[in-house]
Homo-oligomer: A and B are copies of this chain.
């Protein structure tokens, strides 16, 4: 379930990520949110899980501040989309053990940011249904993936 590289190995972390990247990611996510009229919080963290950029769109519920950031942190800490954990919970049984972890938010809407085959951070979105949160997060993640490979770091 982990994010894997072309060799099937778990992806490495990389610090090749900066505020301009985070803004590009958040901007694309915000455009997607605004297109649908969804009031959301958008959070972008680096590969150490530290906040680079967070913005709360007008009208977003206050509780989404923590949730968005925690989704992004979870996606970095476990190098996978938080959707993986949401799906596991839905299957029930053994998978409910995930609810006993305290550094993991099992809600769709957190997506790793990949550059040159490495995890450079993550985006977390909260404010609407979790699949809508994920749709907006994906728009943000795609913006980085489509950009030119990083140079000059």
> Which residues of A approach B to under 8 Å, CB–CB?
2, 9-10, 12-15, 18-20, 22, 37, 39, 46-59, 61-63, 65-67, 70, 74, 76-79, 85-86, 89-90, 92-94, 96-107, 130
A contact patch SS: mixed
Q: List 6 A-B contacts (CB under 8 A).
A: A9-B59, A10-B61, A19-B55, A89-B97, A100-B107, A101-B107
Q: Are A86 and B97 CB-contacts (below 8 A) given A50-B48, A77-B62, A78-B63?
A: yes
New A-B contacts (16) at CB < 8 Å, excluding given A2-B61, A50-B62, A100-B106: A10-B61, A13-B62, A15-B47, A18-B58, A20-B58, A51-B65, A52-B55, A63-B104, A66-B103, A67-B103, A70-B102, A86-B97, A90-B94, A92-B93, A100-B105, A101-B105
